[in-house]
Amino acid sequence: MTDTPETELLDIPDGDGEAWNEYALKQGWGDGMPLAVPTEAAVEKFVAVCRGDNQPFAPISPRQVVPTLKSLAANAVMAGCKPEYLPVVLAALRAVLTPDYNLHGTLATTHPCAPMLLVSGPIRKALDINCSSNCFGQGWRANATIGRALQLILLNVGGARPGEMDRATHGSPAKYAYCFGENEEESPWTPYHVRRGFATGDSVVTAMAGEAPHNINDHGSTSGDGIMTTIENTIAQSGANTIYGKGPYVVVLGPEHAGTLHRDGWTIESMRDRLFEQARVHVSRVSKENQQSYAEAGHVPVNDHYKIAPTPDDIHILVAGGPGKHSAWIPSFGGTAVPSVRVAGG
């Protein structure tokens, strides 16, 4: 639902979901999946949860519309959220509206990026956000609808319609919903949001314009060094946007890999340093044409290798997922940042 005047209402007889969906899809308001009916009563329940959040929102690209709380609530209703999810959705929106996130660029690019949302802190449990097995997948209402709500807001309020403003060549299933929780309970290190300066009791949403997760499979390594070798070589890809060496990326360690790494003395800092130095692409794996293109943009190899991240601080490492010797790597769009926003009241 776009930011039409708040007195403009639609008359959908008896809350007819089919009639509503036909109308909404004709307006270009949907993502192709059924939408819940954003009745006045439903929207008011959502607004009531966040009525104390009076901080204004920045305009949403590309339409540069300053959203009302009711318009945001309506999109959360349509996504299938529960009212108590709305503060997380609003924190996610504030994160992608951070200037360094570069929302306009991440929407207009042909790259298949989508807003990856990481939820940390106590609200993960309060809302039953999946942090463990299949945390990137289906089966959890909170994960699916929080991620979807943000996408609908960017589509319906911001105007990022596929093929018009959203120019992704192929897109990605992550564009439907991309939200998961940090598995703090099985992480041997300090929670991600605490490392970013928040209090342990804060609930925080972190966003990055990222590709869908790339699996890192290592069932054979029994040492932390062996696992790091597998991770760094998975990341060293010549076809990911990270080859430009100007953006962040995220490494999501599965609990089993994390346990082995911690046992062998690896810290977040030492893993970041190792990946910064070793997860690089040799010039032999880059076409001559691309080498010339990169040189013209000022990105030149060091010791015959192209770096993937600008600095070790641009490598974000955390634990999520369940049993199994898998981890994941999430490359970013490149020209973006990784902002974290505290959930109001959380």
Indicate whether 5 pLDDT > 50. no
The residues that bridge with 316 in the sheet, in sequence order, are 250
Amino acid at 215: N
Phi (first) and psi of residue 230, to 5 degrees = -65, -45
Average pLDDT estimate for 192-216:
98
Tell me, what's the pLDDT at 3? 46
Calculate the alpha carbon distances from 191 to 121, 181, 216, 324 in Å: 8, 11, 22, 21
Three-state DSSP state, 316: strand
Tell me, what's the pLDDT at 303? 95
State how beta strands 281-282 and 249-253 pair. Answer: unpaired
The residues that bridge with 166 in the sheet, in sequence order, are 162
Average pLDDT estimate for 132-146:
98
Residue pair 240/280 in contact by the 8 Å Cβ criterion: no
Phi (first) and psi of residue 237, to 5 degrees = -110, 140
pLDDT tens-digit map of 272-286:
999 999 999 999 999
User: What is the gyration radius of the CA atoms in the chain, in angstroms?
Assistant: 21
Q: Which of 83, 110, 207 is nearest to 151 (CA)?
A: 207
Taking the C-alpha atoms of residue 212 and residue 214, their distance in angstroms, rounded to an integer, is 7
- pTM value surpassing 0.85: yes
Q: Who's near 203: CB < 8 A, 6+ residues apart?
A: 88, 119, 120, 121, 122, 123, 124, 342, 343, 346
Amino acid at 231: I
Q: Where are the domains of the chain?
A: 13-342
Q: Write the DSSP symbol of residue 315.
A: E
Q: Which of 85, 203, 181 is nearest to 132 (CA)?
A: 181
Average pLDDT estimate for 120-141:
98
pLDDT tens-digit map of 44-100:
999 999 987 778 999 999 999 999 999 999 999 999 999 999 999 999 999 999 999
Tell me, what's the pLDDT at 6? 46
Q: Who's near 6: CB < 8 A, 6+ residues apart?
A: 68, 70
Calculate the alpha carbon distances from 315 to 307, 309, 330 in Å: 12, 7, 10
Indicate whether 318 pLDDT > 60. yes
Q: Write the DSSP symbol of residue 312.
A: G
Residue pair 192/182 in contact by the 8 Å Cβ criterion: yes
